[in-house]
Structure 1
Amino acid sequence: MNTSSSRPVFETLQSLYAIVRESEREIALNLGLNLTDYRALSVLAQFGPMTAGKLAEDLGSTAATTTAITNRLELRGYVVRRRNTADRRQVLVSSTPASSQKILDLMCPLATAIDGHLQALPLDQRAAVASFLDVAQHLMRDHLQTFPQKEAR
């Protein structure tokens, strides 16, 4: 990175990533889960029911690993498996309402605080923050595509 004016933003983003990872660990511990299982539960809570194959893809894991994760979460009452009503050959995995609510309860104080801070900003600054975060998200996704594919490793 050559531009010294970008350095404070980049360093702040790196700190944010670290805090996000630490937050994930703490939430996982609070739910009595390991980090991998929490990440799977979080994907299901955020995006809704999906096949184990789609969950594996989203997690970047194998089918066998995802099955083990799903089994552990199901035994703990965090997820359920149901036949897809549109295609009975498919089984969908979904978070239970109670587990989704637990995650929301843990995240709500932070979301409320962030919302309060954003609401205190002028509208143009809120738009700039939203735009920056959107661009950063897209750039991060694009950057992920530059890494060698798992099959090639």
Structure 2
Amino acid sequence: MDLVDPEDARTRRRITSELKRRFREVNNQIALLSHHVSTQVELRDIDLDCLDFLAQHGPASPSALARRAGVHPSTMTGVIDRLEKGGWVRRQRDDADRRGVLVSARPDAMAEVFRHYEGMNAQLDAVCADYSPAELQVISGFLDRAANAGRQAVEEFSSPG
């Protein structure tokens, strides 16, 4: 039976608590940056979030986008309509499901959005330069696990019951 040193347990709780606080701060800063970018490109925050999801993950059905954004499908219809009208996305028939529609980000339009994140990306490059490749792998793994925890929390929050 492993005994946990009470001092180690307190230290772990303190560090974990500080890490969560810093995560909230990073989240706040990214949300503020994204809000400024959405204002610059004349999109609503939710529209920019959906556009970013499409840029990261590729074409998706409207229902998949609605689940990802945590909005009602009828709300997503309005989001997609605005994005299509603005030239940010295009709808296309789903080859796998002839009745279905896939929404995809237009690469030329995404270049405009990415341009607004160049400053942040340069800052992150400078931060990453201070770490070894092995340290970056650990950080990347941690962030991947944290993102999965976030997705699971959203699924649990969104589940009826």
> TM bucket by the smaller chain?
0.7 to 0.9
2:97 is the alignment partner of 1:59: no
Corresponding residue for residue 110 of structure 2: 100
TM-score, length of structure 1 as denominator length: 0.84
Q: Tell me how far 1:18 sits from its aligned partner.
A: 0.8
For residues 3-152 of structure 1, the aligned pairs below 5 Å read: 3-147=13-157, 149=159, 151-152=160-161
Q: Tell me how far 1:111 sits from its aligned partner.
A: 1.9
Please identify the structure whose Cα radius of gyration is greater. Answer: 2
What is the rounded CA distance, in whole Å, between the counterparts of 1:103 and 1:127 in structure 2?
27
What is the rounded CA distance, in whole Å, between the counterparts of 2:141 and 2:51 in structure 1?
28
Report the count of equivalent residues: 150
Distance 1:139 1:58, change over 3 A: closer
SS at match of 2:102: strand
Distance 1:112 1:147, change over 3 A: same
For the aligned residue pairs, the C-alpha RMSD in angstroms reads: 2.0
TM-score, length of structure 2 as denominator length: 0.80
Structure 1: gaps spanning 5 or more residues: none
Could you give the per-residue CA deviations for residues 68-123 of structure 1, whole angstroms, max 9, x where no partner exists?
11111111111111112343322211111222112221223322331232133223
Structure 2: gaps spanning 5 or more residues: 1-9
Identity %: 24
Distance 1:77 1:123, change over 3 A: closer
